[in-house]
Amino acid sequence: MQGGIRKVGVIGAGQMGSGIAHVAALAGLDVVINDINEERVQSGLATINGNLSRQVQKGSVTDEARHAALARITGSPDMAALSQCDLVIEAATENEEVKRKIFQNVTRTLKPEALLATNTSSISITRLGAATDRPEQFIGIHFMNPVPVMQLVEIIRGIATDDNTFNLSRDFVQALGKTVTMSEDFPAFIVNRILLPMINEAIYTLYEGVGTVEAIDTAMRLGANHPMGPLQLADFIGLDTCLSIMQVLHDGLADSKYRPCPLLVKYVEAGWLGRKTKRGFYDYRGEKPIPTR
């Protein structure tokens, strides 16, 4: 692709998608953000504006840069709006069937040379790439949450990903001011292969009555110098996402040490998914989060 990546499409206007669009626009790239309806697109654009405004207040971004970034972002519920993008990044829910359907739909509109990427945090890049018309131009670009704050991006090649796709993707991520780490295409890659079993073990510790929510989180904050406790972090990530990643690890590696904790399953079945639903291991409906166990 001559001239590299200049226009980026993002499918999914939620927390991850809006964050990716935010950093890409701030880096001077044109961005198209897509979601299933206009309400979600507008919500994503409002999130980006709010996060940029906070950066202005903190002094990390000028107001001029905020306005320039917002001017580079357009939004549409129509995938045809992605037709001129050099790179399209899928940032939908962590569900393989949903992602496959998105790829089947979007590839009908993309130009032949466009790269296609997924922000999946755990699912096989090789398998997702095989569901597209361009496995050689397909790659995993896994941003960390929250995208504007977190420095790391994992890049994961599928078995068919060619060198040009990898090189362009690496250059794109570095142009955003992020640090690249390369992971092999195994379930959950590097960060979540290590992080999610730790969170799952913390939930087992709660499930087995070893400690309360508050005791477990305090122990890991002060005893291991973690910035937040594992149960607080699980609520931030989303308990449904945590469960999905543990299921990918358990299915993909066939090892009982990755079995999702039954308490995690119970919380997800209750719809207590963490901060986004106001209840998880903490109840967020009041002025201050209160442990639910």
> Residue 85's pLDDT is what?
98
Catalytic residue among 18, 90, 154, 200: 154
Q: CA-to-CA distance for 215 and 78, rounded, in angstroms?
A: 48
Catalytic residue among 121, 124, 183, 244: 121
Structure-token pair, residue 209: 């009555």
User: What are 160-172's pLDDT values in tens digits?
Assistant: 999 999 999 999 9
Mean pLDDT value across residues 52-81: 97
> Residue 77's pLDDT is what?
97
192 in active site? yes
Q: Is 34 helix (H, G, I), strand (E, B) or coil?
A: strand
Catalytic residue among 18, 119, 124, 192: 192
Nearest Cα neighbor of 251 from 190, 203, 187 is 187
Split at pLDDT 50, 70, 90, the class of 3 is low
Mean pLDDT value across residues 200-207: 98
User: What are 133-147's pLDDT values in tens digits?
Assistant: 999 999 999 999 999
Catalytic residue among 90, 94, 122, 142: 142
Indicate the average pLDDT of the chain: 97
154 in active site? yes
> Residue 261's pLDDT is what?
98
pLDDT of 108 over the 60 cut: yes
Mean pLDDT value across residues 19-40: 98
> Residue 282's pLDDT is what?
98
Mean pLDDT value across residues 64-89: 98
Exposure string of 263-279, with b = 16+ CB inside 10 Å and e = fewer, is bbeebbeeebbbbbbeb
Mean pLDDT value across residues 40-44: 97
> Residue 216's pLDDT is what?
98
CA distances from 11 to 19, 88, 131, 176, 190 (A): 12, 7, 17, 18, 24
Split at pLDDT 50, 70, 90, the class of 117 is very high
Mean pLDDT value across residues 207-222: 98
Kindly report whether the global pTM for this prediction surpasses the value 0.95: no
> Residue 1's pLDDT is what?
55
121 in active site? yes
Split at pLDDT 50, 70, 90, the class of 173 is very high
pLDDT of 27 over the 90 cut: yes
CA distances from 57 to 48, 51, 66 (A): 14, 10, 11
Q: Are 19 and 146 in contact (CB under 8 A)?
A: yes
Strands of 37-191, DSSP E:
73-76, 87-90, 115-118, 138-143, 152-157, 179-183
The residue type of 17 is G
Q: CA-to-CA distance for 244 and 184, rounded, in angstroms?
A: 20
Torsion of CA 8, 13, 14, 17, to 10 degrees: 0
Nearest Cα neighbor of 8 from 179, 131, 172 is 172
DSSP summary character for residue 156: E
Mean pLDDT value across residues 18-36: 98
